Amino acid sequence: MSYILEGSTGPWEIVVGLEVHCQVISQSKLFSGASTKFGNDPNTNVSLVDAAMPGMLPVVNAECVRQAVKTGLGLKAKINKESVFARKNYFYADLPQGYQISQFDKPIVGEGTIILDMPDGSTKSVGIERLHLEQDAGKSMHDQDPKYSHIDLNRSGVALMEIVSMPDIRSPEEAGAYLTKLRAIVRYLGTCDGNMNEGSMRCDANVSVRRPGEGFGTRCEIKNVNSIRFVMQAIEIEAKRQIEVIEGGGEIQQETRLYDQRLGETRSMRSKEMAHDYRYFPDPDLLPLVFDDAFVSEIEKELPELPDEKKARFMRENGLSAYDAGVLVAEKEKADYYEVVAKGRDGKLAANWVITNLFGALNKAEVGIADSPVTAENLGKLIDLISNDTISGRIAKDVFEIMIETGGDPEKIVEEKGLKQITDTGAIETAIDEVIAANPDKVEEIRGGKDKMLGWFVGQVMKATGGKANPGMVNKLLRDKILS
């Protein structure tokens, strides 16, 4: 379903392109040997290069290049075997060189694609325009002193991948799905940890509105939004603002805006006239970045199975629905968990347990999969106990509750609590005989043709056995005794 905003003069469609900055996972910075460790004391991860001391020169970190290529491959994108680092010139206190080393007209990665998994199980393809490598800036802190700003250069020079989408996104939900999928891909690849709250993934959103079917409108760029939820909110709020401006007879000015999540509004930050002239030019301190096919194919060999491939495999091999498979592959840890549970077992049953029971319980407890009290091995054992008739499905739910609380082994729980299913015919017969003896009138009703009453007897017998009797056997024995 297409997403349409109703204005006072008719329907509006929104057009969104996202620019996502992903901090590259690497030991050291893009052009220096300084550590990239997060959370160290201010200005301790700073080399002479990062502080832009006179005469210092950048040397590209091959690991960051590998990570960018790997990400490009994960985005099914064109890898440019020759790319060029360019200087983006502007003055700011947290930019010691007075320029950011980035890539301009020759990025390391060209066009690619991301497949979005929408909540209704459908998919949508969004184009990637490019991925380029660049240096992060330092951090300005304006709340440390009443008169001065403080600068922390720990982040200065850390490698970022800027991943730019085509303007293919048409709703806040799609934007959310895009970020979720991109995050999943970089996490699967191990090229970025995707933690938006730590700033290792940051998003700028280009938003415009148009009448359905018409050409693109003027866009505004919302800078530096730091959660998926806020990106979705900001897009909707900005689109509504633009509609209001246009319908009020105004025009959208191309500008940079900030999203204030507290006030739920976007605010102008910098107009087009005030925009910087970055004076990009090839960085003469660095040679063009050139590598060969062998370099790329080495990296290709290291590629893990990515979410889309995993999803397809789950559907093909385990018979899962697109929706279930999509939920499971959204996070690599979830997919890994599921695979352990499903190994050698009924894949669909495993998916049900993982998605409905486990994820349900984890969500309720606000706990991530990594901290699940129930291990995948134990959940698998629980499913085995059902499959081999040791316990019934109903008892299994009780056992699962205990596992969530205690993290215990289901076999031990069943053992200790005496929850083993009764499959001994004699014991079940005894229970049946007692129920029949106590209810001769109801027996007659069944014999008179009221078949439905049989279910009542099953219930009584189960109650009498504490739920432990095998329901199939109870059913069969009851039929035999009453109807034959």
Partner 1 sequence: MTDLTKLTLAEARDGLAKGDYTSVELTEAHLKSMDAHRNLNAYITETPEKAMEMAKASDAKRAKGSAGKMEGLPIAVKDLFCTEGVQTTAASHILEGFKPEYESTVTSNLFGNGAVMLGKANLDEFAMGSSNTSSYYGNVVNPWKDKSGKDLVPGGSSGGSAAAVAANMALAATGTDTGGSIRQPASYCGIVGLKPTYGRCSRWGIVAFASSLDQAGPMTKTVRDAAIMLGSMAGHDAKDSTSAPIAVPDFEAALTDDIRGMKIGIPKEYRVDGMPEEISKLWDDGVAMLRDAGAEVVDVTLPHTKYALGTYYIVAPAEASSNLARYDGLRYGQRVMDEGDSLDDMYMKSRAAGFGKEVQRRIMIGTYVLSAGYYDAYYNKALKVRRRIYQDFEGAFGQVDAILTPTAPSAAFAIGENEGDPVKMYLNDVFTVPASLAGLPGLSVPTGLSAEGLPLGLQLIGKPFDEETVLRVGGVLEGAANFTAKPAGQEG
Nearer to partner 1, 50 or 238 (CB): 50
Among residues 275 and 427, whose Cβ is nearest to partner 1?
275
Which of 59/367 has CB closer to partner 1?
59
- Count of residues in contact with partner 1, rule CB under 8 A: 31
Q: Which of 10, 98, 121, 319 binds partner 1 (CB under 8 A)?
A: 98
Structure-token pair, residue 341: 């549970």
Residue type, 344: G
Which stretch in 66-74, 90-98, 326-334, 350-358 sits in contact with partner 1 by CB under 8 A? 90-98
Supply the minimum distance, in Å, between the C-beta of residue 94 and partner 1.
10
Which phi and psi angles does 6 have, rounded to 5°?
-85, 120
SS3 content of the chain, % helix, strand, coil (to 5): 40, 20, 40
Q: In which residue are the tokens 């805006």 written?
A: 257
Q: Which is nearer to partner 1, 83 or 191 (CB)?
A: 83
- Please identify which residue in 99, 259, 353, 400 interacts with partner 1, judged by CB under 8 A: 99
Residue number, 113 or 140, with CB nearest to partner 1: 140
What secondary structure, in 3-state letters, does 345-410 show? Answer: CCHHHHHHHHHHHHHHHHHHHCCCHHHCCCCHHHHHHHHHHHHCCCCCHHHHHHHHHHHHHHCCCH
CA distance 129 to 143: 38
Interface residue with partner 1 among 21, 70, 87, 202 (CB under 8 A) is: 87
Q: Which is nearer to partner 1, 72 or 96 (CB)?
A: 96
Cβ at position 65, least distance to partner 1 in Å:
13
- What one-letter code names the amino acid at 295? F
Q: State in angstroms the smallest separation of the CB of 96 from partner 1.
A: 6
Q: Which of residues 378-417 bind partner 1 (CB under 8 A)?
A: none
Listed in sequence order, the residues at least 6 apart from 388 whose beta carbon sits closer than 8 Å to its beta carbon are none
Under 8 Å between Cβ of 176 and 232: yes
CB 210 within 8 A of CB 242: no
DSSP letter, residue 277: -
Q: Who's near 445: CB < 8 A, 6+ residues apart?
A: 453
User: What type of residue sits at position 239?
Assistant: A
Q: How far is the CB of 149 from partner 1 (least distance, A)?
A: 8
Q: Least distance to partner 1 from the beta carbon of 32, Å?
A: 10
Evaluate the CA torsion angle 440, 443, 449, 451 in order and state its sign.
positive
Binding residue for partner 1 (CB under 8 A) from 2, 8, 41, 91?
91
Q: How far is the CB of 272 from partner 1 (least distance, A)?
A: 12
Minimum CB separation of residue 179 from partner 1 in Å reads 31
342 contacts: CB under 8 Å, gap ≥ 6: 318, 350, 351
Cβ closest to partner 1, residue 27 vs residue 122: 27
User: What are the distances in angstroms from CA 365 to CA 90, 265, 358, 438?
Assistant: 47, 32, 11, 45
Footprint of partner 1 on residues 126-145 (CB under 8 A)? none
Site mask for partner 1 (CB under 8 A), range 281-320, x = bound? x-xxxxx---------------------------------
Contact criterion met (CB below 8 Å) for 155 and 34: no
Q: What totals of helices (H) and strands (E) does the chain contain, helices first? A: 16, 16
**Min separation Cβ 374 and partner 1, Å:** 51
Collapsing DSSP to helix, strand or coil, 206 comes out as strand
Chain centroid to Cα 85, Å, comes to: 31
- According to the binding rule CB under 8 A, does residue 151 interact with partner 1? yes
Per DSSP, 254 falls in state P
Stated length of the chain: 484
Out of 23, 45, 83, 97, point to the residue binding partner 1 (CB under 8 A). Answer: 97
User: Could you say which residues in the range 45-64 bind partner 1, by CB under 8 A?
Assistant: 48, 51-60
Q: Supply the minimum distance, in Å, between the C-beta of residue 144 and partner 1.
A: 15
Question: Nearer to partner 1 by C-beta: 91 or 248?
Answer: 91
Residues in region 193-212 near partner 1 by CB under 8 A: none
Binding of partner 1 by 216 (CB under 8 A): no
Tokens of 361: 């319980």
9, 10, 93, 368: residue in contact with partner 1 (rule CB under 8 A): 93
- As measured in angstroms, the least distance from the Cβ of 375 to partner 1 is 48
Task: Give least dist CB 284 to partner 1, A.
Answer: 4
Residues 248-277 vs partner 1: string with x where CB under 8 A?
Answer: -----------------------------x
DSSP letter (8 states) at residue 52: T
Alpha carbon of residue 240 to chain centroid: 27
Least distance from C-beta 40 to partner 1, angstroms?
19
Binding site for partner 1 (CB under 8 A): 48, 51-60, 87, 89, 91-93, 96-99, 149, 151, 277, 279-281, 283-287
